[in-house]
Amino acid sequence: MKFVEGHTVGVDLGTTYSAIAQLDSEGQPISLKNTDGRSITPSVVLLGEEGRVVVGPSFERTAIEEDPSHIIEAVKRHMGDDNFYVVYQEKKLTAEFLSALILKKMKQDAEKEIGPIANAVITVPYYFNDVRRKATQDAGRIAGLNVIDIINEPTAATLAYAWKRDELGNPDAMPDGERTILVYDLGGGTFDVTIVRYSPTQFRVLATDGDVMLGGLDWSQRIVDHVAEQFMKKFGSDPRQDPVTLRTCVQECEDAKRELSQKAQTPVSIYHKGNTLTVALTRGDFERMTADLLQRTRDTTELVMQQAGVEKGQLDDVVLVGGSTLMPVVEEMLKNVCGREPSRTMNPEEAVAQGAAIHAAILEARATGGESRMAQAVIKRLRSVSTADVNSHSLGVKITDPNDRSRKINHIMIKRNTEIPASVSQKFVTTSDNQQRIHVIILEGEASDPDACSTIGDFRILNLPSNLPKGSPVEVTYRYDANGRIHASARELTGNNESATEIVRDSGLDIAGVDRFEMLAKDYLVE
């Protein structure tokens, strides 16, 4: 990786809120504040008139917006989706570009505090596939950042947790050697649960799972639906059909959700077509109407514990990350599942960005040869830490089903939660006589149906020997390197013909596309 001149930061690009952080000269992770004096910025984009873009607008500002389609929220859920775009000033704006506007705003605000920012580590949910990770990297580049790495959110949170406990890079801090912790990350739009084992000089992920379409937004939506249904029963019309009313209702319900983390009951009011309804919502009501959502996170937590070989009561700590973990019922559930009280030592809304800042500083310390604004003791400590990650999705190859030659299946080569780097070789056979070429299609996903997986690359072996009989052996090798890059090769063993490819997270967009959007971003006044 190449560093460019300027400050290096860590960024948590969240579904509902985003944050940016840096290690100070004494090695302490600090959150950098926006122009409102807050350490988190709402991940909301308001596309105003004449190219004026407001990131994190106030509710009062969004309430008077005449075109609700110009208020963009939860764009993270659309990262890597080629079918998602917003039309603005006769231009199609992708999720990458809209995310870049959020990053640009945070970069601008943080630069007022520390000066020019050049390099960044950006976080993603563990369960983001390669396409979504590429899109996140593109967003950073469009925003004018040199993206030195993409790091998984639970890994970042673990770094922040262990670093703040003075346990990473400090061999005297842990006389017992290792700790095993569970990181439960329930944010506004995504969910991850991860088990990590770490020592002063190394931490490694044992197992992870999650859902990129599950988060606090779904809890809020249950309140919206409940209130709207009560309104319909009384007045016969659905307030969700009016975009302006819906927006006000969503904000009311979001506020109510937060209130119920502190209170046993709160009122929710809705006004529509001259009628007003106030619903008294109790915490018990809220927990009952969202019980299935919490159960989904519980099932995932129990699965990850099983995959990691960790029993109830064996964890050294349970770390809560993400604003949605402030709901009391989350803590109660985890106490029951894990056999211990979850830790509240971390700020759940800042931990991920601060962990990304630590990871960024580790990379910087290794790359700069000791030339840094940080103290030499901090640099030495940073350099002593190494990490071992796992893959969050299985890697497979599309093959003909041996039991039904009319269909194709995904044959998994490297299972998810395999520690990387990793390499696997397997032998297959040709499917017809005198076969002229072999087409290797690389799949990412757990399903046996290739159409339910993501195709992330392919390559061909050409010029096979003439009269090659059906059933001739072919060896396929998949490899994850230490940087998470995917390498695949295949060799036809009769004639020893070989071909290979590397899946490099260069860009979901091509270089010209990134450059084009980067120029467009400069045309917009982001405030």
Q: Which two tokens stand for residue 435?
A: 């076969």
Instruction: Enter the DSSP assignment of 65.
Output: -
Percent of the chain with pLDDT over 70: 95
Task: Indicate the helix (H) or strand (E) that contains 514.
Answer: helix 511-523
Pairing of strands 191-198, 45-47: unpaired
Instruction: Enter the DSSP assignment of 484.
Output: S
Assign 485 a pLDDT band (cuts: 50, 70, 90).
confident
Q: How confident is the prediction for the chain on average, in pLDDT? A: 88
Please check whether residue 323 is in contact with residue 128, taking contact to mean a CB–CB distance below 8 angstroms: no
Q: Which two tokens stand for residue 114?
A: 């520390």
Per-residue pLDDT at 380: 80
Per-residue pLDDT at 333: 97
Distance CA 234, CA 270 (A): 12
The domain made up of 7-173+346-389+512-526 has a fold known as Nucleotidyltransferase; domain 5 (3.30.420)
The domain made up of 216-289 has a fold known as Actin; Chain A, domain 4 (3.90.640)
pLDDT at 505 over 60: no
pLDDT digits (tens, 9 = 90+) for 422-452: 999 999 998 889 888 889 999 999 999 999 9
Alpha carbon of residue 323 to chain centroid: 15
pLDDT at 24 over 50: yes
Please state the rounded mean pLDDT for residues 403-432. 90
Percent of the chain with pLDDT over 90: 54
With CA atoms as reference, report the closest residue to 26 among 172, 121, 163: 163
pLDDT at 369 over 70: no
Per-residue pLDDT at 507: 46
Per-residue pLDDT at 289: 97
Per-residue pLDDT at 436: 85
Assign 1 a pLDDT band (cuts: 50, 70, 90).
low
Per-residue pLDDT at 254: 92
Q: How far are the Cα atoms of 7, 59, 255 from residue 262, in angstroms, in the given order?
A: 39, 22, 11
Distance CA 329, CA 323 (A): 13
Assign 372 a pLDDT band (cuts: 50, 70, 90).
low
Domains of the chain, by residue range, sit at: 7-173+346-389+512-526, 216-289, 395-503
Cα–Cα–Cα angle for 271, 273, 278, rounded to 5 degrees: 25
Ranges 19-33, 260-274, 275-289, 379-393: which has the least confidence = 379-393
442 strand-pairing partners: 397, 457
Per-residue pLDDT at 253: 95
Please state the rounded mean pLDDT for residues 117-142. 90
Ranges 258-262, 483-487, 494-498: which has the least confidence = 483-487
pLDDT at 171 over 80: no
- SS3 of residue 389 by DSSP: strand
Per-residue pLDDT at 98: 95
Architecture of the domain made up of 395-503: Sandwich (2.60)
Distance CA 133, CA 198 (A): 25
